[in-house]
Amino acid sequence: MKKVLHNLVLLAMIPLAFLSTAPVMAAFDETFFAENNIIYYDPDGAFNPNVGCSSYGSVSVTGSESAEKLWNGLISLGFTPEQTAGILGNMQSESAGTLNPVVHEVGQLQAHQPGFDLFNGAVAYGIGLIQWSWGRRVNLMNAVKNVDPNLLVYFEDYEKYAGTNYGSLLSAEEFVNVAGIDILEKLYSIELQFLRNEIDNNSTYRATLSATTVEEATITFLEKVEVPAAYIKRNENPAAYENLKQVRLSQAQAFFERFSGYTGQPSASIDGFDVTIIGDSITNGSKSQILAKLPQADIHAQDSKQFAGTNASNPTGIEILDQLISAGKLRDIVVYALGTNNAGLTVGQVEDVVNKIGSSKTIIFVNNYALSESGKDYSSNNNALQSVKQSNANVLIADWAEAVASNPTRYITNSDGLGVHPTDEGKELFADVIFGALSNGTGATNTSTGCNGYGGWSGVGLSQEEAEEFISIYNSPVNYNTNVAYIGGRVNSSSCNGVRPLSNCTALSQYFVGKYTNLTPGGGNGNEVVDQLLERNPSLSWGTEPKPFAIFSQGGGSLTSAGHTGLILGVDVAANKVIIAESSCSGTYTSKLTMETLTSVMSHFGGNPSTMKFAYPEIKTDVLMAEGLL
C-alpha cells in the first residue's frame, strides 16, 4: 500500500520548523519514520467513522455494547480474532476496566490537573483505550482534532466524561449517558484507526500482526505496543509483571470465547445498550418485561403518545426523536412502537419518521393490533409500515399483530373496552416480539460492513435475479401490447427517434407507475417525471436518496434538455450496491439493468447530481409477487 509522507497529526504538509530537526529524506524510509516517531498517513486509510470494506480504510463499530463494538471495529480493520482478543484484553486493563475512550491515567491526572495540556508530549500522561502517552498521546489528540475539534472537549472535561479516581471512573455505558452513542462510536472509530496506523507503520508494533494465538497476541501487544512499567521493571519484580500478564491473558481469553466465530454483525442486542425504544401505553405497560430482556435499553414511553405531530404535555414520537437527535443520544437501533392512538397512518407519515432518523440507523417499527370487537382498524397503519419497509434498507417490522393473532383474547384484554392493551401474558409476548426482532439478526444496523463485495444480496427491493426477470417481462415482445397499455399513451414515440414507445426512458417509469402503483400518472420529459407525479399525488413522498422502487428524474450535466428518468429496483447497503433499471432511445428494446454503488448513483446518468430527485411510491406488492418478483 502506497504511503504518503504527510504527518498524521496534521494531515497536511509537515511544518518546515519540524523538518529542520531531522535530515531531509529523498525517498520514503520506513525505519527513519519509525525511529523518529513520525506517524504518516495513508489516504486510503483516512479516518472515517462510517463503514466500508477497504483494507484498514474504515472502522465498523457496530454492536449492542462497548466490547462488541470494539471487537467488530478491530476485526473490520483486519486483525484476526486471536489478535483482536489480545488487544481487547489489554484495553480492558489499560482503561481500568471501563473501555471508555477518554479515560485518563488516574495517577498522572491527580498529579498534573487541573489545567494539564494534553498536547504536551514531555509528560508520560496516558489517555484513551490503551493509555497513549508522551508523543503518542499528542499524535492521537491531533488526529482527533483533525476529524472534529469539537471532540476534544470529551478528553478535556475529565470530570464529566471520564472521572477522577478509580472509584468514580465512568464506564463506556456511563459515558454514553452523558455524551451520546454517536460520540462513543466516533471516538472508538478514531482510536482504533489510529492504533491500526501505528501498528502498520512501526516495525516493533507490527509483531502483533504475526501473532497466531490469543496468548501470543496478548503478550506481544503488552510487551511491544503497551510496554507498561511492570514489564520494564520485570527483573526487579517478576511477580508483579507475571500477575499483570495473567490478568490480561484471562481477559483476552474471555473475549475470545465470547466473540470468536462472530460474524461481525450485531446479532442479538445483548442488553439493549444500542437500543432506543419510543412507545405508547402498550410499551409503557410492558416496560418491566422489556427491561428484563434489555436492561440497558433507553425507553421513552407514555400513555396516549401520538405517532407524530406536537403535544406540549406528552411529546409525540417525532418530538422525542428531535430531542434525542439534538442531544446526540439517539442510539443505533430505534424501536418505534407507536400508532395505537393514530389509526389511518399514511406512508408519508411513516416516511417522515424514517427521514428524521436517517439511513445510518436501524429502525424497527412495531405494528398495531386490536380485538375485532373494539371496532378499531389498523390495516392502514400496518400496510403503510410494510410499504415503507419495502422501500428502505434500514427499516424492519416487529410483527406484534401476527404474534397476537395466534390467540387474541389470551394476549389482549378488552376489560377497558379499548381492545388494544396486553394481558400479563401479552406483555411478555410484546417484549419477546421486540427482543426477537433484535436477536434473530434483524437488529443488525445497516452500518455493518458485511464486506461481501458484490457477491450475494442482503438488501431490500428486488435481488439482481429478480430485477433481471423484471426487465425480461418489460422487454419481451410477447408482452408488448400489454405493457404499452400501462403507459396509457403518455409517451410519444416520435420524440424517441421514431423507435417503439417502450424504448423511451419515460416509458419505463410510466409503465412502472401504471402497473405497480396506485398513483395518478403524470407525464413530461425525463427530468419532469417526478415533479409531475408529485403535482398529481400530493401525499407522495420524495427525497434525494436512492431507495428500492424509487422513480428518479435528473437533468443538466451532459444530458439532453429532456433529461433522464428510470427506476431503483434494489438497494443493498451492506454490499454498497444499487440496481438501476433504465431505457434509452437508441434501439427497439434497450431497457437494461445497471449496477452502481450508493455513492456513484448520482453521477451515473451524466446529469447534474443536484437535480436528482427520487419519488417513493407505495408499491402493489401483490402484483410483484404474482410475477415471482418478491
Kindly indicate the confidence band of residue 42, based on its pLDDT and cuts at 50, 70 and 90. very low
Among 245-249, 260-264, 352-356, 520-524, which is the least confidently predicted range?
260-264
What are the tens digits of pLDDT across the range 603-624? 666 667 777 888 988 888 778 7
Q: Which residues, listed in sequence order, are joined to residue 276 by a DSSP beta bridge?
A: 298, 334
Cβ neighbors of 486 (< 8 A, separation 6 or more) are 510, 511, 514, 515
Longest Cα–Cα distance in the chain: 92
pLDDT in the model for residue 86: 96
What are the tens digits of pLDDT across the range 256-300? 988 876 443 433 335 787 889 999 999 999 999 999 888 888 999
Cis-peptide into 501, omega within 30 deg? no
Does the pLDDT of residue 338 top 90, yes or no?
yes
User: How many CB atoms are closer than 10 A to CB 118?
Assistant: 18
Among 296-305, 417-426, 440-449, which is the least confidently predicted range?
440-449
In this structure, are residues 517 and 619 in contact, taking their beta carbons and an 8 Å threshold? yes
Ranges 25-29, 48-52, 320-324, 577-581, most confident = 320-324
Kindly indicate the confidence band of residue 336, based on its pLDDT and cuts at 50, 70 and 90. very high
What average pLDDT score do residues 310-318 get?
93
Exposure string for 367-397, b = 16+ CB within 10 A, e = fewer: bbbbbeeeebebebbbbbbbbbbbbbbbbbb
Burial class of 306 by CB neighbour count within 10 A (0 to 12, 13 to 18, 19+): buried
How many angstroms separate the CA atoms of 294 and 296, rounded?
Answer: 6
* DSSP reduced 3-state for 421: coil
What are the tens digits of pLDDT across the range 361-406? 889 999 999 998 888 899 999 999 988 988 887 888 888 988 888 7
- The percentage of the chain sitting over the pLDDT mark of 70, rounded to a whole number, equals 79
User: In degrees, to the nearest 5, what angle opens at C-alpha 327 toward C-alphas 323 and 328?
Assistant: 115
In this structure, are residues 560 and 495 in contact, taking their beta carbons and an 8 Å threshold? no
What are the tens digits of pLDDT across the range 112-124? 877 789 998 888 8
Cα-based distances in Å from 619 to 215, 396, 405: 55, 17, 25
* Pairing assessment for the beta strands 298-301 and 550-554 based on DSSP bridges: unpaired
What are the tens digits of pLDDT across the range 469-487? 888 888 777 777 888 788 7
pLDDT in the model for residue 258: 86
* DSSP reduced 3-state for 78: coil
Which residue in 568, 574, 560 sits closest to 615, CA to CA?
568
How many angstroms separate the CA atoms of 325 and 322, rounded?
Answer: 5
* DSSP reduced 3-state for 428: helix
What average pLDDT score do residues 297-316 get?
93
* DSSP reduced 3-state for 272: coil
The DSSP secondary-structure symbol of 25 reads P
How many angstroms separate the CA atoms of 252 and 267, rounded?
Answer: 21
Does the pLDDT of residue 183 top 60, yes or no?
yes
What average pLDDT score do residues 581-602 get?
65
Residue with the larger pLDDT of the pair 131 and 394 = 131
pLDDT in the model for residue 621: 76
What average pLDDT score do residues 39-51 get?
29
Which residue in 594, 539, 554 sits closest to 570, CA to CA?
594
Q: Where are the alpha helices (DSSP H) in 296-415?
A: 317-327, 347-357, 379-391, 400-405, 408-411
How many angstroms separate the CA atoms of 199 and 148, rounded?
Answer: 23
Share the mean pLDDT of the chain: 78
pLDDT in the model for residue 209: 92
